[in-house]
Amino acid sequence: MNHSALFQTQQINQLLLPNRLAVAPMTRVSASADGVVGERMRQYYQRFAQGEFGLIVSEGIYIDSASSQSYDFQSGLVNQAQQRGWQQVTQAVHQHGGKIFAQLQHAGALSQANRHRMHTVAPSALRPKGEQMAFYRGEGQYPLPRALDDGEIQQIIADFATAAERALHAGFDGIEIHGANGYLLDQFFTDYSNQRDDRWGGDIIGRLSLSLAVIDAVRQRIGRAAPLGIRLSQGKVNDFDHKWSEGEVGAKAVFQRLAASGIDFLHVTEHEAWQPAFDADGASLAALAHRHAPSLTLIANGGLHQPQRALQLTEQGADVIALGRGALANPDWPRRVRQGLALQEFDRALLGPIADIKESELRLA
């Protein structure tokens, strides 16, 4: 099979990537208790650059000293110590020819641990579905969150912008806003978790308003040259099979609005990215994004660790293929595929009993 399409260069804004292969953001809860990245995380990210991934998207990084932290031992970008820690990572990635984006995250109601606050916040005071994730040190139901007021929402918007600026100072090459997987921006975007009747609620575009406001604030703070994008999903860590109730009509409206928002790229993730997003004979979410937002660089993620699946998504319009499990099992996936070498199977023990970085992973470098 000819895999050359995966190894073409790809441009996002002014940033030139050496190939179309990326490492997807993955929560690894391996920072210090106060959110500082250390040597273990430096080695972990460095190995993906050594393995010839053109782009790495960081795990979700919390943005404030209030309610954004999701998990114990999650990394942040809210002070100089955290910034210096991430700077060691970005330098290591760059030394091996890679590029790295910072994924900025607010947990909202899905916070399982937060050293800054005891309570959780959300668009509406509704307990999230499901239970906390044990492999991120969670247990039992999610707490009942408190609904955010408008002043707090404005502060969160500003905190995203400040964290984005700090990320660039730490050497990141671009910014990904985490609008997926059930975290705060996705809680605002989701019909059943957002019961607001103000400017932050309503129809699907009204519920997208917070994400759009964050995009605008971040773009104003970091300028036009730095790559900026957002990650979207249907499924959530606490509601795996969720689908947008507005279907393809809603998806069209969302993708068209995002294309006009000032972002450079759109990162969509599904369990199996090639599958129809809504109707059994319909298009995938990636194909819909490409159809309705063709000006944006499209990153696709979800079950694409086999090269033929990755190629299938490029045929559906994806410009960059992001791997999660495939990258964990094969930190040198691009090199292996390019050289025709066998790929290793994913070992679920890497994510258990806690999904932190294991010594065995570092020895793969």
**Catalytic machinery residues:** 183
SS3 state of residue 137: coil
Q: Which residues pair with 60 in a beta bridge?
A: 103
> Which helix (H) or strand (E) element contains residue 101?
strand 99-105
> Which helix (H) or strand (E) element contains residue 172?
none
Three state DSSP letters for 240-261:
CCCCCCCHHHHHHHHHHHHHCC
- Identify the sign of the CA torsion 308, 314, 316, 321: positive
Tell me how far apart the alpha carbons of residues 68 and 84 are, in angstroms, rounded to a whole number. 20
Tell me how far apart the alpha carbons of residues 70 and 195 are, in angstroms, rounded to a whole number. 22
Longest dimension (CA), the chain: 56
Residues 6+ away with beta carbon under 8 Å from 164: 102, 104, 175, 218, 221, 222, 228
Which has the closest alpha carbon to 239: 107, 123, 130?
Answer: 130
29: left (phi over 0), alpha (psi -120 to 50) or beta: left
Q: Which residues pair with 178 in a beta bridge?
A: 231
> Which helix (H) or strand (E) element contains residue 35?
none
Per the structure block, which two tokens stand in for 171? 């050497």
SS3 state of residue 14: coil
SS3 state of residue 131: strand
